[in-house]
Amino acid sequence: MSNRFVDRVVLHLSAGDGGNGCASVHREKFKPLGGPDGGNGGHGGDIILEVSPQVHTLLDFHFRPHIKASRGGNGAGDHRNGARGGDLVLEVPAGTVVLNEDGEVMADLTSNGMRYIAAQGGHGGLGNAALASRARKAPGFALKGEPGEEHDVILELKSMADVGLVGFPSAGKSSLVSVLSAAKPKIADYPFTTLRPNLGVVNVGDGTFTIADVPGLIPGASTGKGLGLDFLRHIERTAVLAHVVDAATLEPGRDPASDIEALEGELAAYESALDNDTGLGDLRDRPRIVILNKADIPEAEELAEFVRADLEEQFGWPVFVISAVAQKGLEPLKYKLMEMVENHRRENPIAESDARTIVRPQPVDAKGKTRDFVIEADPTEEGAFLVRGEKPERWIRQTDFENDEAVGFLGDRLAKLGVEDALFKAGAKAGCTVTIGELSFEWEPMTAAGVDLTPTGRGTDGRLEQTGRVSAAERKRASQVRRGLIDEFDFGDGEEADRERWQG
């Protein structure tokens, strides 16, 4: 099982949640009003994909697809910030392509040390010390930590090789790799011996190139027959395609020209099905070479020499007659492949770059500015509106709705961002439903927001007491009643609990 090759996996990622901020007041003898000293919560850990030269397959992720990073620590009093959650770094092989659930390419990891943040940890919530301002000198609330990103990503491994060997099963591709390089692939005389790409390094004079023997191709592979797309995925990056043709096959209807035409038909069908070619250009434009193998058999050598000129005229590609078993004709082949690879490298220079982290750009509008939010009509309810945007949705997640002061702070933030004015312009009316993120509420435009506050008790906001909204004190009393701590009709004035007095 340790030799199993896996080149496509689906990962279920859960980045770390951010820690909650702390609402604390400094308490010290002879200093009854020491001021807010609640610390911030720590950020949640990120999940990072990093290219490592020590990894060659996605096998580990096949058995452990559920990945979760650690949570950030909560803030504490005395200005103590919570610890940041540790980032989880997952090592992947070079040539790994990261796709989202819709199949869109998010990152193409081709160089050692390249990193991609696949799931970002949640931001830690601010403590009340960081929220203190001229309007709120001693905030009685703190912000909650944001949840980390949770989504699935698809990892696909595409071989990083200069030369890709294509051909029918048992055409001798693995044997050719074994004699041109130090690679030792499994070799046998039956179809689909090769179930994983075999990579080898070929030394030619002062130069080197890599060669890949990928699983054998059969007619219909582009539609999933045989090893299907598992084969075709690994030729997307190759600079040169080499057709390895079995000149000694005894199968009826098989000859070098028809084999090459069948292979080209599958490559053309696969090319037309590609939405995004993350290789080195279109497959149809890659330089080709034809290798007629098994010339150690007299009949095969005679056939190869007979059709060689016809193949060069028909396809316009160089043709070489070799025997991988007898190691015949290999030197001219190696130098020709080296020449084709060097030509490609000159025409497609790759800029040298240090290890870098791929970042995801923020969307911008037509004027090149990032949009904070947009207002849309709610398709599920007439007269309702949706507020979409990173900032307002983040603020909703950070708010403790059990604290009136925190709710008032949210209202001020939304008003300063322009959400209130935008709702007015969109035609919103008092009492209509407004949804931000996962929260829906009745819009109360008469509640003043973004104005100077009149100081009230910690955790309260005088503006909310003017509405029919249940206050924090009423919620606390209802909770005590549910837990049986107090009588529902006892008002704490020393008089006997009485339902009629409660009713008015």
CATH of the domain at 123: 2.70.210.12
174 has binding-site annotation: yes
pLDDT of 38 strictly over 90:
yes
What's the rounded Cα separation, in Å, for the pair 290 and 165?
10
How far is residue 327's CA from residue 295's CA, in Å, rounded to a whole number? 10
**CATH number of the domain to which 212 belongs:** 3.40.50.300
H or E element, residue 61: helix 59-63
> Is the alpha carbon torsion for 32, 33, 34, 38 positive or negative?
positive
pLDDT band at 462 (very low <50, low <70, confident <90, very high): low
Would the annotation count 171 as a binding residue?
A: yes
For residue 358, give both structure tokens: 């791929």
Domain end residue (candidates: 133, 157, 181): 157
Query: Does residue 492 sit within a domain?
Result: no
290 is in an annotated binding site: no
Interval 140-146 mean pLDDT: 94
- What's the full length of the chain, in residues? 504
Residues 308 and 394 placed together within one structural domain of the fold: no
Q: How far apart are CA 218 and CA 207, in angstroms?
A: 33
214 is an annotated ligand-binding site residue: yes
Residue 208 lies in a domain: yes
For residue 486, what pLDDT is reported?
75
Tell me the CATH number at 418: 3.30.300.350
Mean pLDDT of the chain: 79
Q: Which tops the pLDDT comparison, 438 or 14?
A: 14
Same domain, 183 and 323: yes
User: Are residues 207 and 73 part of one domain?
Assistant: no
Instruction: Look at residue 229 and tell me if it is in a domain.
Output: yes
Identify whether residues 88 and 10 lie together within a single domain: yes
Consult the annotation and say whether 372 binds a ligand: no
246 is in an annotated binding site: no
Is 193 annotated as belonging to a binding site?
yes
- Consult the annotation and say whether 191 binds a ligand: no
Domain shared by 222 and 330, yes or no: yes
Task: Give the model's confidence band at 186: pLDDT under 50 very low, under 70 low, under 90 confident, else very high.
Answer: very low
Q: What is the pLDDT of residues 228-259, one digit of tens each?
A: 455 566 677 788 889 988 888 777 777 888 88
Q: Please, is 2 exposed, middle or buried when counting C-beta atoms within 10 Å of its C-beta (0-12, 13-18, 19+)?
A: exposed
Say yes or no: 111 and 253 in one domain. Answer: no
* Contact predicate 21/90, CB 8 Å: no
pLDDT, one tens digit per residue, over 88-130 is 999 998 888 899 988 888 888 888 889 999 999 999 999 999 9
Q: Is residue 324 part of an annotated ligand binding site?
A: yes
Tracing tokens 């023997």 back to the chain, one arrives at 213
Q: Are residues 289 and 233 in the same domain?
A: yes
Residue 102: both structure tokens together? 């819709």
Would residue 393 count as lying in a domain?
yes
Of 71-75, 261-265, 348-352, give the lowest mean pLDDT range. 348-352
The two tokens of residue 77 are 């009093």
**180-184, 402-406, 433-437 — which is least confidently predicted?**
180-184
Q: Are residues 111 and 246 in the same domain?
A: no
Those residues whose C-beta lies under 8 Å from the C-beta of residue 440, and which sit 6 or more positions away, are 433, 434
Question: Does a structural domain hold residue 476?
Answer: no
Residues 6+ apart with CB under 8 A from 235: 159, 164, 166, 212, 214, 241, 267, 279, 283
pLDDT given at position 14? 96
Q: Quick one: average pLDDT of 411-430?
A: 88
By the 8 A CB rule, do 159 and 56 touch? no
Structural domains of the chain, count: 3
- Pair (284, 305) in one structural domain: yes
Report whether 282 belongs to an annotated binding site: no
**Could you tell me the two tokens for 351?**
């800029």
Q: How far apart are the first and last CA of the chain?
A: 77
Task: State yes or no: 173 annotated in a binding site.
Answer: yes
Is 84 annotated in a binding site? The answer is no
492: which residues sit within 8 A by CB, 6+ positions away? Answer: 486
Question: Poorest-confidence range of 208-212, 306-310, 484-488, 489-493?
Answer: 489-493
Is the Cβ–Cβ distance between 185 and 174 less than 8 Å? Answer: yes
Structure tokens of 438?
Answer: 């996962």
List the domain range (segments joined by +) for residue 298: 163-347
205/311 same-domain check = yes
pTM of the full structure: 0.68
The verdict on whether residue 195 carries a ligand-binding annotation is yes
Residues 198 and 237 placed together within one structural domain of the fold:
yes
> Mind listing the pLDDT tens digit for each residue in 276-311?
444 444 677 789 999 998 888 888 888 888 899 999
Q: Is 23 annotated as ligand-binding? A: no
Asked if the structure places residue 367 within a domain, the reply is: no
Higher per-residue confidence, 362 vs 97: 97
Answer yes or no: is 167 a known binding residue: yes
pLDDT tops 90 at residue 489? no
Range from 214-218, 270-274, 345-349, 464-468 carrying the lowest mean pLDDT: 270-274
Query: Does residue 108 have a known ligand-binding role?
Result: no
Tell whether 360 is covered by a domain: no
Residues 324 and 210 placed together within one structural domain of the fold: yes
**pLDDT score at 177:** 84
**Does residue 401 belong to any structural domain of this protein?**
yes
